[in-house]
Amino acid sequence: MSNRMRCARRFWYTAALAAAWAALALTSCADAARKTYMAPMRDGVKLATDVCLPGGEGPWPALLARTPYNKKGLPLELIATQGYVAVAQDVRGRFASEGLAMAFLDGGWGERQDGYDTVEWVATQSWCNGKVGTFGGSALGIAQNMMAGAAPPHLVCQHVAVACSDLYRQAIYQGGAFRKALVEGWLGGNEWPAENLELMTAHALYDELWEMVSPESRHSHVTVPTYQLGGWYDIFSQGTIDSFVGLQTRGGEGARGRQKLVMGPWTHGGSARREQGELTYPANCTVRGGIVDMKRWFDHWLRGIDTGIMGEPAVTYYVMGDVDDPAAPGNEWRTAPMWPVPARKTPYHLRTGGRLTRELPAMNEAPESYSYDPNNPVPTVGGANLLLPAGPMDQGSVEGRPDVLCFSTDSLAEPVEVTGQIEVRLYAASSAPDTDFTAKLTDVYPDGRSMLVLDGVIRARHRSSVRTEELLQPGKVCEFTIDLWSTSIIFNVGHRIRLAISSSNAPRFDPNPNTGEPFRASDTTRVASNTIYHDAAHPSALLLPVVEESSSQR
């Protein structure tokens, strides 16, 4: 991918934010000149912090963003026209700030607490009235989640977009498998010190390091309301949902019961576009509320203005549908008081002949095997990617491979609504001491396009825990759970629901070498013979949260 494309993906939030704030700009003028401060942290390191003041008499509440992507790109002048002190900071070791940049490790509740220290520094300045809100997406959103876990006293509220709540499970080692394209392209490039990638690849097990970058482990310490914005095809989609649910139900005083969640049909940074992957959604799919809701959120919590936002349902989500049929159900926004919405976990069983049915398999259904060669992995086609083509894309080019097993329903006679978290229960064996199992859920259109909805992976050695390893006994059947994360979609009449099982999806996930050696201990690989069982004693199934009678508000 070219540097231009990398920059475009990286700064999507900055551009969208600037355009939106410009549309809301008031007639009052901000002080157009930024002033740069070197804000001191508790260990003496100073972080470069730009400040732009509103016009008129202060002090004012402040809106703060902490970014690894250069504070100069954030539209502080436009934000200040809304009557807030606009503050942007280069995180430790990035651009004009001092120190070594170790992604997110210094922004939370550890020995160094740059997020906490920055909020408290802002709150004590003469131009601030002591109330601080924070905003930002992606890495800026993760920085907010880390900051909230440290519970700075003057933090009042947050607006977090597309951010994970657990760096290990949702960003670096999904299902125990290394997210190669994301991590190497994002945190392993020239923009970050080499120590970042070295540290993350040296800790392939979930340990104390990862506990220090797991905001969800600190939800009970968080005391502020947060507006969470995410997308069904986003790289951190489950993190957005988990942040909302955790804070809404287990947050500290001030956070619990005061959260908001918006989930749309978007890739990372795609909330302003109708085109997602190879599908074009109706015009109503673009970000609901957008920057208007951001302003309403901050005006409510930082100014005490009754904007009505807290009287609205806690959850707003987009139910996707057939984009080719204007009369098809779905492709609409709904609201709910909580997540997940009521649904019945319904098993769709893998069957002989590539069928996927609600009926249980027979006792004598034969298993199916394939050879997985790490040197010839199934190539990634769409999905929750950052620097690869992302979103719903036709899987036809890979479904015909001999190392991909497809199971499909008959053409649907009635629509099937699926809203919530999706799993695959898989009974499988391997000739190797370790391997991966991957799963893809697709919506098969009447013309044969198999459009990706979700995918996931489980590394066999982590089938029981990401904190420990348990190698396979060759040929022994084990049960695996593949977490596909969450979605909301209505499979239309005439469509088919498909599950594709394989053992690779590269470079989205680092191909498992099948050797059982520690992660990246050598370049040795071996071919594995992997077998999927789907009989009455081993009822492998796709577990779908089927909404039979929606109780959501439309």
At 287, the pLDDT band (50, 70, 90 cuts) reads confident
Question: What's the pLDDT score for residue 4?
Answer: 37
- Of 139, 157, 175, the residue at which a domain comes to its end is 157
Q: What is the pLDDT of residue 27?
A: 38
Position 9 pLDDT exceeds 50: no
Alpha helices by DSSP H, 84-167:
114-123, 139-150, 167
- Of 460, 485, 422, the closest CA to residue 165 belongs to 485
- pLDDT category at 8 given cuts 50, 70, 90 is very low
Residue 412's domain is classified under what CATH number?
Answer: 2.60.120.260
Top pLDDT among 418 and 290 is at 418
CA distance 251 to 242: 12
Q: Among all chains, which residue has been given the structure tokens 């809106």? A: 63
Closest C-alpha to 77, from 36, 25, 127: 25
C-alpha to C-alpha distance for 107 and 268, rounded to whole angstroms: 23
Helix (H/G/I), strand (E/B), else coil: 351: strand
Q: Is the pLDDT of residue 329 over 60?
A: yes
Residues 5-25 as b/e (b if ≥16 CB within 10 A, e otherwise) read ebeebbbbbbebbbebbeeeb
What tokens were used for 131?
């109330």
- pLDDT higher than threshold 50 for residue 6: no
- Closest C-alpha among 300, 180, 167 to residue 236: 167
Nearest-CA neighbor of 432 among 541, 513, 538, 534?
Answer: 513
Name which of 171, 176, 170, 146 is nearest 160 in CA terms. Answer: 146
CA torsion, ordered 221, 315, 548, 500, to nearest 10 deg: -70
Distance, in Å, from the CA atom of 61 to the CA atom of 81, rounded to the nearest integer, reads 13
**Does residue 288 lie within any of the structural domains?**
no
3-state SS track over 374-408 = CCCCCECCCECCCCCCCECCECHHHHCCCCCEEEE
Read off the pLDDT band of 29 (50, 70, 90): very low
> How many C-beta neighbours within 10 Å does residue 367 have?
16
pLDDT of residue 308: 96
Last residue of a domain, one of 100, 128, 157: 157
Mean pLDDT of 505-527: 97
| Confidence bin at 497 (pLDDT 50/70/90) | very high
Tens digit of pLDDT for each residue in 469-478? 999 999 999 9
Contacts of 183 (CB under 8 A, 6+ apart): 171, 172, 197, 200
Which of helix, strand or coil describes residue 543?
strand
Dihedral sign of CA atoms 24, 28, 32, 36 in order: negative
User: What span, in angstroms and rounded, lies between the C-alpha atoms of 427 and 453?
Assistant: 22
**Does residue 33 sit within a domain?**
yes
Instruction: With residue 87 as reference, give the H or E element that holds it.
Output: strand 85-90
In a domain, 323, yes or no: no
Residue 393 pLDDT > 50, yes or no?
A: yes
pLDDT per residue over 199-237, tens digit each?
A: 999 999 999 999 999 999 999 999 999 999 999 999 999
DSSP notation for 40-84: EPTTS-EEEEEEEPPSSS--EEEEEEEESS-GGGS-HHHHHTTTS
> Residue 269: inside a domain, yes or no?
no
DSSP letter (8 states) at residue 411: P
318 by Cβ neighbours in 10 Å (0-12 / 13-18 / 19+) ranks as buried
- The number of folded domains in the chain is 2
pLDDT value at 402 more than 70: yes
Cα-to-chain-centroid distance, residue 521: 29
550 pLDDT higher than 90: no
What range defines the domain where residue 408 resides?
344-546
- Residue written as token pair 């606009």: 86
CB 513 within 8 A of CB 436: no
The residue among 157, 182, 197 that closes a domain is 157
State residue 21's pLDDT score. 53
Q: What is the pLDDT of residue 190?
A: 58
Average pLDDT, the chain: 93
Q: Are 203 and 529 a contacting pair, CB within 8 Å?
A: no
| pLDDT score of 12 | 46
Write the CB contacts of 274 (distance below 8 Å, at least 6 apart in sequence). 280, 281, 282, 283, 285, 286
100-145 tens-digit pLDDT: 999 999 999 999 999 999 999 999 999 999 999 999 999 999 999 9
197, part of any domain: no
**Predicted local confidence at residue 548, as pLDDT:** 85
189 has pLDDT over 80: no
Confidence of residue 242 (pLDDT cuts 50, 70, 90): very high
| SS3 state of residue 479 | strand
185 within domain boundaries: no
Considering the domain boundaries, does residue 128 fall inside one? yes
Query: Across-strand partners of 383?
Result: 391
Q: What percent of the chain has pLDDT over 90?
A: 90
DSSP state for residue 538 in the 8-state scheme: B
Distance CA 240, CA 238 (A): 5
Is there a contact between 418 and 346 (Cβ–Cβ < 8 Å)? no
Please give the model's pTM, rounded to 2 decimal places.
0.95
Q: Distances in Å between the alpha carbon of 479 and those of 205, 528, 535?
A: 21, 18, 13
76: domain CATH number is 3.40.50.1820
As to burial, measured by CB atoms within 10 angstroms (0-12 exposed, 13-18 middle, 19+ buried), residue 273 is: middle
* Residue 176 within any structural domain of the chain: no
